[in-house]
Amino acid sequence: MEEKNYTGLIPGNETGVIIDSAASEEFRDVQEAKAFYETVKNRLLAVNDWDQLAGVASAAFQLVDKNGQEVNRSVQVGDYFKIDIPGPGSGAGQGYDWVQVEDLKEVSQQDVESVGLRVRPSTNPLTPDDSIAHFYSADSTSTFIVTRENNKITATIYDRNTKPNTETGTVVDKIRDVAAGVGAILGGSKMQWKGLATGLVSVK
């Protein structure tokens, strides 16, 4: 799949697996596409609503600020996602998987608008435990981007350097993270992100 990296947020893949997901909609004219791009952009930044867009089997996402407080607003750099995936949760994450937003950018060029954010597995900000509280390793990233090119809008999710987390502090978490990470790599992440991409650009 061709990368839509106008924001420059997508890292190179040095290790692990590449997982790409995308969905798009075309409109009759540029003005209609521009208007809908604003809707899709707002959906992307409203992380707490992602599960409603992605469908019934989706993980649930809760935005948490730098101080560990749950918030209901557009995502910002430094925020965390508290993620409730189907199945057993992370012990280090107190039942959840955690990622932190490390970058967010928006660009506007002639005939192109694009906005995206990149997250990386993180520690649980609510505890002093320095273990990565996610089934993917700290090398892994997920980059979420929506782009308007003329009258076409595309939502894309790029997982890079994707591999299971084997550095957790307990044997139970290590078994859980490897099992969940392998399952995600073999199809779970693709299914989750395809559902989200489709929901982001849905005109219904």
Mean pLDDT over 43-60 rounds to 92
Pair of tokens at residue 141: 């990233």
In terms of C-beta density within 10 A (0-12 exposed, 13-18 middle, 19 or more buried), how is residue 192 classed? buried
What pLDDT was estimated at residue 172?
A: 67
More confident residue, 86 or 198: 198
Mind listing the pLDDT tens digit for each residue in 65-124?
999 999 999 999 999 999 998 877 788 888 899 999 999 999 998 899 999 999 999 999
Helix or strand (DSSP H, E) at 97: strand 97-109
Residues 6+ positions from 182 with CB-CB distance below 8 Å: 164
146/38 Cα distance (integer angstroms): 10
Residue 169 has pLDDT above 90, yes or no: no
Going by pLDDT thresholds of 50, 70 and 90, the confidence category of residue 155 is: very high
CA distances from 150 to 25, 133, 144 (A): 11, 40, 20
Q: Where are the domains of the chain?
A: 17-201
Residue 63 has pLDDT above 90, yes or no: yes
Lowest-pLDDT choice from 43-47, 75-79, 161-165, 179-183:
179-183
Residue 168 has pLDDT above 80, yes or no: no
Hey, what CATH class is 17-201 in? alpha beta
Mind listing the pLDDT tens digit for each residue in 177-196?
677 777 777 767 888 999 99
Q: In what order do the strands lie in the sheet with 112-121?
A: 17-26, 152-162, 141-149, 112-121, 97-109, 80-84, 60-64
What is the model's pTM?
0.94
Q: What is the mean pLDDT of the chain?
A: 92
